[in-house]
A and B are shown apart, each in its own frame.
Chain A
């Protein structure tokens, strides 16, 4: 992923160093490497190691358990939920970002929207879930009023708020602002002169987007979308407050396996499910790297 666009690694051949000289160049990277080792590699190693263990030692049973129908559903549910909210959030967020970026850079609109996004992107958990339950839940004043006036948005008692459709809606609430925050710097980098240049050379709006702005923004757009995907995949508290039963997404299944008080406490199985999350993110990251290499090829 990082090597893809980095000419220092891909472009230059191995330097021919004469003799063995002890270099201290790596010392500056020690704090970073230590940080990554402690907070990324160590937990990953603990999770992967623990996934192959139970009380009596080595086992593959934790991975065999992944074929339980509800767990398969949860994996499917997690991927769908994350993909839909990442793609939807990225598109809607990008449109909003463009609206901000083309407006007055010191205008009130821009300042209000960016500071609101800064707050809303962090709005999650029980408070967000309860805000939705109180605002549009089946006991909310809004629903009770509308349903007695001919607009029943839960027809036949089908409360979509309490299943994956509801989670999608609620997740969008923090995905779109997050997209604005991380995508705005890229859009700000687009210069208005490029558009003028396109027009003076006889290009239409389509040409500008297809050949200039699109290719420039594509890597940032895809990277932001990947971040949104991972953000939705790992979100737990919001989902736990909205859907308490059956574990339709993986973080809820993991929680059940960790903290069951009725004797279904399976820490090894929880870790095996966490490995699935890691594999999903790794797969999407590789996909991103491939796409990014394609979209950034013209830069080289």
Chain B
């Protein structure tokens, strides 16, 4: 009896000791990469690869396979490092990504890395872990947070994509008000909700006498479009473009150009009077369940290979200028970018805030 009890006690103590040492063991490495602000700071690239492979998994969110060539990037990363990627909620918004970080916390399903719009990035820096990729100095200073809480990844111009078999060639925004475009023009989302749609309305505004400070002309334009019965209120997706429900779409040029795969007659037009440029940003979650894999994913995205993958998806990677100088850019892919002549405009956070406030008050009335 006594012996049994002692024996059992010993077993329990032994198990507890084992557990503590096991926890201690993993938590040292995890803590190490969870707080590492660069590959060198965490023990070097080789150590990062080893730690990431040991984690074996990576959770990404709101990155559809047909968005900026993410499908190829995911496959290449898994092939190179043997790390399985779980891509959650592909059609989610940037806010959905942040909501997932907040709601899932440290659980193994929580997102490790985020690909988010600038307004969401700036509003949620408390959820992000600072990290500087090896190629940090290639990213222009005004396109990154100085400690690495967020750093821009790829961008493009707001454009009008259209199926040239269904509608006449688009040479200006005014064309879209004509009778040939009845029930044909759509946005990629609701502009009070989706960043791409907000920029679509902003582009219409700039082309119609507004400015980056004044989105009202764009709202007026879509009101005219609605009155002409040309506006389609459904969200343009690959499937609505494919089946012809949305033959004219306001969207980023790199997303729009991708429709050419399904619709060979698809053309992309960037009005020279309104070249609107915007970048998305990468960020690592502070509570990432796979901290090393998250950092390795960022290193992969900002390597020459990763940047060229985005370029092959017709997005303009943030290191493009540096890579053109170094000669590491995929020149054939760069030549395929939709042409745009003029000076690109980029919204400041203040201009974006003013635009969204105007939209919140006026958008629903303009299109209903």
| A residues with CB within 8 A of B | 69-70, 73, 130, 133-134, 137-139, 154, 156-159, 162-163, 241-248, 255-256, 258-265
Closest residue to A243 on the B side, CB-wise? B233
Find out whether the CB atom of B233 lies under 8 angstroms from the CB atom of A262. no
Closest residue to A164 on the B side, CB-wise? B368
In the assembled complex, the CB of B150 is this many whole angstroms from the nearest CB of chain A, namely 14
Q: Give chain A residues whose Cβ lies under 8 Å from the Cβ of B187.
A: 244-245
Given the contacts A69-B364, A262-B198, A137 and B191 also touching, CB distance less than 8 Å? no
Q: Give chain B residues whose Cβ lies under 8 Å from the Cβ of A245.
A: 187, 190, 231, 233, 363, 367-368
Find out whether the CB atom of A261 lies under 8 angstroms from the CB atom of B190. no
Find out whether the CB atom of A263 lies under 8 angstroms from the CB atom of B353. yes
Of B93, B96, B182, B368, most A-chain CB atoms within 10 Å: B368
How does the 8 Å CB contact mask read for B237-248 relative to A, with 1 for contact and 0 for none? Answer: 001100111010
Q: Which of B353-368 contact A (CB under 8 A)?
A: 353, 356, 359-360, 363-365, 367-368
Given the contacts A138-B245, A261-B93, A263-B123, A247 and B356 also touching, CB distance less than 8 Å? no
Given the contacts A139-B243, A246-B367, A248-B368, A262 and B234 also touching, CB distance less than 8 Å? no
Closest residue to B239 on the A side, CB-wise? A130
Find out whether the CB atom of A259 lies under 8 angstroms from the CB atom of B99. yes
CA distance A209 to B79 in the complex (A): 72
B340 within 8 A of A: no
Interface-located stretch among B16-24, B65-73, B112-120 = B112-120
CA distance A158 to B233 in the complex (A): 12
Provide 21 A-B residue pairs closer than 8 Å at the C-beta atoms, listed in order of the A residue.
A156-B229, A157-B229, A159-B183, A159-B232, A162-B232, A241-B234, A243-B233, A245-B231, A245-B367, A255-B193, A256-B190, A260-B95, A261-B93, A261-B119, A262-B117, A262-B119, A262-B352, A262-B356, A262-B359, A264-B360, A265-B123
In the assembled complex, the CB of A277 is this many whole angstroms from the nearest CB of chain B, namely 18
CA distance A162 to B234 in the complex (A): 7
Q: Give chain B residues whose Cβ lies under 8 Å from the Cβ of A243.
A: 233-234
B235 within 8 A of A: yes
Closest residue to B230 on the A side, CB-wise? A157
Given the contacts A156-B229, A262-B195, A246 and B363 also touching, CB distance less than 8 Å? yes
Find out whether the CB atom of A70 lies under 8 angstroms from the CB atom of B368. yes
In the assembled complex, the CB of A43 is this many whole angstroms from the nearest CB of chain B, namely 14
Q: Give chain A residues whose Cβ lies under 8 Å from the Cβ of B353.
A: 263
Find out whether the CB atom of B183 lies under 8 angstroms from the CB atom of A259. no
B194 within 8 A of A: yes
